[in-house]
Structure 1
Amino acid sequence: MASICLIAATCVFAGGAKQAVAEQIYSPNAFKVPYLGVDGVFTIDTEEVSATDPRNPKRVVFQQMERFSFYEDLDGNTPIAENCRYVYKGAAGDPFYYPKESKTSIWDLFELASGDEACNNFYYVILRSPHGNPVHMHMRYANADSSFDNLLNLSDSPEDKTKIDPWWSVYCNEGVTGCDQ
């Protein structure tokens, strides 16, 4: 049966019958730039408190939305995990901000497809892909014992400044600081 779908809201099937379809959430970067805007080198914003959070790699290198490398230092001399290959799994609204506070608070979801043992610590990666001016992004990750839902729900965690929760890392384009002003 032939069908035409418009923005995943309603489908009109041959013969004129309509069927409602659940709303789909798309990354705001999905149609503006290649690789959903996830390509290049990002470093932790040293002006933000998240720079002191031990969960946050100091440098992340993205290669065409498919290969990610994580480093302990800003210069990329000490790898945590390199050349981890990911599959894009879609997008989800941030449970705290979307849609009431911000319709653009969308997380891109990535699942590990292959890589060495160290990549398993980054089995699930979610990104608030590069946005804003100056450009910055946010990232969370977990091992295979976790899930996308667990990572997303961290946005609703109670504030605990001793643990730097909720977990909101801030990354800038390489060499830039103060990007989430």
Structure 2
Amino acid sequence: MQYFLRRALLLPTLVAVTALFLGCGHEHDHEHGPDTHTHGPDERGDGHSHYTSTTENPAFTYLAMNGEFHLNPGDSMSQNDPRNPGRLQLTTDEEAGSLTKMVFYAHDDMDQKMAECGYEFVGSRPDPHYFPDQSKTSIWDVFKKVEDYSGDCMPYNYVISRSPHGDPIHMHLRYGEDVEALLAMSNDEEDSNFNPWWATYCDIDRTTACD
């Protein structure tokens, strides 16, 4: 009898403790439903990753650097910025020691290949404008060029990417000679030269805006 009384008294406590631990599970720091995320009138990127309640932030986002992408349809900030390649082809696999291959096409001609280059992933860096106060998922993946396959890879010595994410899938990309300078662009003043630089890319088959 005493055994059953003790179990009866402990039961509410166990329920309360279990509820406490369940309530402390991982939560998404930043979420958007399909109709809650908009850009300003100039369509600049907002620096966030878009994970829904059914999509987990992958542990290694750079492994998502796969597929073919083009500039976000209807996004004038991406479409009109001459720095942005018009089309990207990305190949990444999980094989140890393998490189990420990136193919860049001309801004105004998606059939004109500019360069095909091989990259080593060298780490991730927080966005200096958005992280952490506005978004804890605002993280860039950093790639260093280690192989020139064809074309002129010199302009693409470093690539930083908000690697493909979200639904609909999209990504952001910058390239240049210096990682610190590329990251610092997030703090640039808005101007008529498409700054801050937030090129947005959608899946190659998408005909409507993806971000």
Give TM-score, length-normalised by structure 2: 0.65
Aligned residues of 1:59 and 1:74 also touching (Cα < 8 A): no
Instruction: Give the paired residue count.
Output: 146
**2:106 alignment counterpart:** 72
Does the C-alpha gap of structure 1 residues 127 and 168 become closer, same or farther in structure 2, counting only changes over 3 Å? Answer: same
Alpha-carbon offset, residue 135 of structure 1: 1.0
1:43 maps to which residue? Answer: 70
The answer on whether the counterparts of 1:30 and 1:36 sit within 8 Å (CA) in structure 2 is: no
Q: Return the index of the structure with the highest Cα Rg.
A: 2
Q: Measured at CA, do residues 31 and 109 of structure 1 come closer, stay the same or move farther in structure 2, by a change above 3 Å?
A: closer
> Equivalent of 1:92, from 125, 144, 149?
125
Q: Does 1:157 align with 2:169?
A: no
Find the aligned partners of 2:108 and 2:82 in 1 and give their Cα distance: 14
Distance change in 2, residues 1:31/1:141 (3 Å): closer
Structure 1 residue ranges without an equivalent (≥5)? 1-27
CA distance in 1, matches of 2:197, 2:90: 21
Tell me the TM-score normalised to structure 1 length: 0.75
Q: Is the CA contact (8 Å cut-off) linking 2:124 and 2:140 kept in structure 1? A: yes
**Structure 1 residue 98: Cα displacement:** 0.8
Q: CA deviation at 1:73?
A: 5.8
Any idea what the Cα deviations from partners look like across 1:40-62, whole Å, max 9, x if unmatched?
11111121121110000010100
Alignment pair present for 1:127 and 2:161: yes
Offset of 1:108 from its aligned partner? 0.2
Does the aligned pair in 1 maintain the 2:113–2:151 contact within 8 Å? no
Tell me: CA distance 1:163–1:74, structure 2 relative to 1, closer, same or farther (3 Å).
Answer: closer
Aligned position for 1:29: 58
Counterpart amino acid of residue 166 in structure 1: P
Which one has the bigger helix percentage?
Answer: 2
Q: Considering only aligned residues, what root-mean-square deviation do their CA atoms show, in Å?
A: 1.8
- Partner residue in 2 for 1:147: 178
Q: Higher strand proportion, which one?
A: 1
